[in-house]
């Protein structure tokens, strides 16, 4: 017992010394940049030690406030509560709960049956059905990993059984699962809206056409590859079969109308629509489909509460970090510096994409948005970039981050389902990353794709 205690104490001392060394080194390197340099030096140094992003955010704020600022500590406690009082934040746990009900409630299985009945007779029918099913499930879940789990756990084994290479299936489903945060409702878009005080309703509407366009691009690329490699197809479904599968999936698909229709019609606010989606998803899973029993409810609630608590903890610390940046006028100084460089919109958007793609390799989407959105938003506004276009662009970058190592969430989910190693899963997704990068350029420099529908509906 004493030996184990000694080892633990030695480990703790080494860890503490590593943290102190990293903080001092980073602060020395960036201290020439003033307060902004010290803030980010603290953050990056703590993250380099392996500390979770949420704790790094909070600890860097507290360290700076105690040693480098005159801001009263009472303001920190006040900001912890007032920062997450926004009504819109309540949408996040409700969308998570709705997604969990749908994932465990048999909705995904019925959507897959409907999707394969529609496109299964074409080359690569099961793969095409997977893309369509991901698009449909994305429209009711709001989460990318949840989409990969729900669709991939059913379709990937079926694809392998039919003779598809497992890497092809992993690439298709892992990438198409990214539609979960682009096609509304989207938890990532809610986080962006909360960070920048943008309209959640307009962001949701703005994601419709880009989401459908990406689904079409993925369908086209999948079909071309499947035709070239002569992958199998399913027998053509009769009209009666298509009608039957649609009828079975209609209760899940109706959630799209509940959320988007409710917001656009003015019947619900986005937060109220999220609450309605959770109630509706629970009703469909428990009463209509009955694939979820009363005994399963505690498991679903516990899983949702755990995910919600994690996200809200990150948001709380990110709000503190944003408060510190604002109090030190970092966004204003950064905006003035970027404008003084004479950057054009094109150059600035290239910078934004490179920054977000790099961050996507090391952090998950919520943390990236909560850190970068308050910094990039003022610059984008000064350059005349529409906030809704910026939100869609950042969301697409987050999609790509979902399938890039070492922390791409979709990679880990797809790896767990397919039982491929992370390296093999990454290789499987690599060609699809190139497709996503080409799509990102399209979204970046053709803003009408994102803005046409919200401008039409929200005149």
pLDDT (average), residues 186-204: 89
Using 50, 70 and 90 to split pLDDT, how confident is the model at 2?
very low
The answer to whether the beta carbons of residues 184 and 141 sit under 8 Å apart is no
Instruction: Output the pTM of the full model.
Output: 0.84
Least confident of 6-10, 33-37, 209-213, 435-439: 6-10
What is d(CA 137, CA 158) in angstroms, rounded to the nearest whole number?
A: 18
pLDDT value of position 14: 47
Percentage above 90 pLDDT, the chain: 23
* pLDDT for 395 beyond 90: yes
Statement: residue 399 has pLDDT above 60: yes
**pLDDT at residue 17 in the model:** 52
Q: Specify the pLDDT at position 225.
A: 92
Q: If we measure between CA atoms, which residue out of 6, 5, 44 comes closest to residue 24?
A: 44
Of 232, 203, 191, 219, whose CA–CA distance to 135 is shortest? 219
pLDDT at 10: 41
Q: CA torsion 270→403→445→377, rounded to 10°? A: 50
Encode burial over 434-456: b for 16+ CB neighbours within 10 A, e otherwise.
ebbeebbeebbeebebbbebbee
Do you find a cis peptide bond into 167, omega within 30 degrees of 0? no
> Is the four-CA dihedral 398, 56, 145, 272 of positive or negative sign?
negative
Q: Which band of pLDDT confidence, cut at 50, 70 and 90, is reported for residue 459?
A: low
183, 135 Cβ separation under 8 angstroms: yes
Kindly indicate the confidence band of residue 30, based on its pLDDT and cuts at 50, 70 and 90. very low
Closest of 293, 306, 248 to residue 104, by C-alpha: 293
For 51, 107, 225, 435, the CA distances from 164, given in Å and listed in that order, are 40, 25, 12, 20
Residues 6+ apart with CB under 8 A from 18: 49
């Amino acid at each position: 017992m004493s030996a184990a205690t000694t080892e633990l104490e030695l480990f703790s001392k080494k860890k503490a010394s590593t943290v102190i060394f990293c903080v001092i080194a980073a602060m020395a390197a960036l201290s020439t940049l003033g307060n902004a340099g010290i803030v980010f030096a603290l953050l990056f140094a703590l993250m380099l030690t392996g500390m979770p992003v949420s704790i790094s955010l909070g600890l860097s704020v507290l360290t700076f406030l105690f040693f480098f600022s005159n801001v009263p500590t009472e303001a920190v406690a006040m900001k912890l509560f007032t920062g997450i009082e926004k009504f819109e934040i309540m949408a996040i746990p409700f969308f998570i709960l709705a997604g969990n009900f749908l994932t465990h409630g048999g909705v995904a299985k019925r959507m897959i049956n409907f999707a394969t009945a529609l496109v299964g007779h074409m080359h690569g029918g099961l793969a095409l059905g997977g893309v369509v099913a991901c698009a449909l499930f994305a429209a009711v879940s709001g989460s990318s990993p949840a989409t990969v789990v729900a669709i991939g756990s059913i379709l990937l084994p079926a694809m392998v059984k039919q003779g598809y290479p497992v890497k092809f299936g992993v690439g298709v489903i892992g990438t198409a699962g990214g539609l979960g945060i682009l096609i509304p409702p989207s938890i990532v878009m809610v986080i962006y809206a909360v960070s920048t005080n943008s309209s959640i309703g307009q962001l949701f509407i703005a994601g419709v056409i880009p989401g459908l366009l990406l689904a079409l691009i993925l369908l086209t690329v999948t079909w071309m590859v499947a035709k070239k490699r002569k992958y199998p197809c399913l027998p053509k479904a009769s009209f009666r079969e298509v009608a039957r599968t649609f009828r079975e999936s209609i209760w899940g698909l109706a959630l799209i109308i509940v959320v988007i229709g409710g917001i656009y019609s003015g019947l619900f606010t986005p937060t109220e629509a999220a609450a309605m989606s959770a109630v509706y998803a629970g009703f469909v899973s428990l009463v209509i489909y009955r694939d979820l029993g009363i005994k399963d409810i505690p498991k679903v609630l516990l899983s949702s509460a755990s995910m919600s608590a994690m996200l809200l903890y990150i948001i709380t610390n990110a709000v503190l970090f944003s408060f510190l940046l604002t109090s030190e006028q970092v966004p204003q100084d950064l905006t003035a510096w970027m404008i003084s460089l004479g950057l054009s919109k094109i150059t600035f958007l290239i910078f934004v994409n490179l920054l977000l793609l790099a961050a996507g390799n090391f952090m998950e989407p919520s943390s990236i948005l909560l850190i970068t959105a308050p910094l990039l938003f003022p610059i984008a506004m000064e350059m005349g970039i529409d906030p809704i276009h910026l939100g869609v662009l950042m969301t697409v970058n987050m999609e790509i981050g979902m399938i890039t190592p070492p922390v791409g969430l979709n990679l880990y989910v797809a790896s767990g389902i397919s039982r491929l190693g992370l390296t093999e899963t990454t290789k499987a997704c690599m060609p699809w990353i190139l497709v996503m990068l080409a799509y990102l350029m399209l979204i970046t420099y053709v803003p009408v794709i994102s803005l046409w529908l919200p401008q039409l509906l929200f005149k």
